[in-house]
Amino acid sequence: MVKLDRINISNEGLTKFFSPIEAQIMEILWANKESTTPEITEKTGIPLSSVAGTLDRLVKAGYAKREMDKKGQRVRYLYSATESMNNTANTITKKVLDSLVDTFGKVAIENFHTYNNKK
């Protein structure tokens, strides 16, 4: 689990759920079918030393996946997002809702209803 266990409501955008570097990398993975490590470092402008560890973590947490690409005597990783951005949003939303219901029970559910009516 990357950061979902430590949601930060006051942060902007995806950094509520991911660290800034994780968010930047996930955006690139969602926008592209396949990305190589140099592409990711170039597009984010973040040094490899930070990107590499973050990629390992994202893969371990299941948000990103990588395949080894062999080209003659060279090897490289090809990264892609495990799920589309929408599906990931779905997973995150469910987890947050679950934890709200788990803590506040009925009150949380009543709020979901009124939230829906307001719309």
Partner 1 sequence: MVNMFSIKKEIGCYITCITGSSLLPLIGIHIFLALLLFTLYLKARRPVIRISSLIAAQLFMLFAIGTVVSAMQCSQMLTIEIYTVYVILSTVLIMLLPKIYYRILIKRYRAQPVTDIMDWPQTFVNTLTEKAKVYYYDSAVPRAFASGKSIFLSMGMLELMDDLELKAILAHEVWHLRHNNKTPVLRQLSLMTFTKNRSENELELLADTFAEEMVSETAVESARAKLN
State the Cα–Cα distance between residues 116 and 65, nearest whole angstrom: 35
Judged by CB under 8 A, the residue of 6, 12, 33, 68 near partner 1 is 68
- 9 is a site residue for partner 1 (CB under 8 A): no
Judged by CB under 8 A, the residue of 51, 63, 81, 88 near partner 1 is 51
Sole window of 2-10, 54-62, 84-92, 102-110 interacting with partner 1 (rule: CB under 8 A): 54-62
Q: Return the DSSP state at 94.
A: H
- The binding site for partner 1 (CB under 8 A) comprises 37, 48-49, 51-53, 55-56, 59, 66, 68, 70, 73-77
